[in-house]
Amino acid sequence: MEIGMPELDRVIHEPVRLRIMACLDTLEPKEQVDFVYLRDLLEVTDGNLGAHLQELEEAGYIGVKKRFVGRKPRTFISATTKGRAAFGEHVEALREIIEGGEAGKKG
């Protein structure tokens, strides 16, 4: 019944941030997503998404760039190398917890 104690990263674990990182992790290294795309995908408000992005940026997990497209300011988001590594470790920790349970059931 041992499930081990893998560390979960509380910055990433929060549901909206977990989804943000899962989404960004699918991108190619220099690819970015648009703020509006992410907001609509995650079905959150501008303010909510902005707050979560700020936490991820402060942790060094994402890069946020604003630039003008025509006359409109747009915000582009990408995962950093550090962010991808942290997300990968987080997924591993989650798997250990989840699969620890499943292994226990079989045993």
Q: Give the Cα separation of 40 and 2 in Å (integer).
A: 40
Contact region for a copy of itself (CB under 8 A) — 1-9, 52-60, 67-75?
A: 1-9
Phi-psi bin for 27: left (phi > 0), alpha (psi -120 to 50), beta?
beta
Number of residues that bind a copy of itself (CB under 8 A): 28
Amino acid sitting at position 104: G
- Using CB under 8 A, which residues numbered 36 to 95 contact a copy of itself? 41-43, 91, 94-95
Q: C-beta of 94: minimal distance to a copy of itself in Å?
A: 6
Q: How many CB atoms lie within 10 A of CB 48?
A: 13
Among the listed residues 11, 17, 18, 77, the single contact to a copy of itself using CB under 8 A? 18
The CA distances from residue 86 to 8, 18, 55, 75, 80, in Å, are 10, 11, 14, 23, 10
Instruction: Give me the residues that bind a copy of itself (CB under 8 A), please.
Output: 1-3, 5, 8, 10, 13, 15, 18-19, 22-23, 25-27, 33, 41-43, 91, 94-95, 97-98, 100-101, 104-105
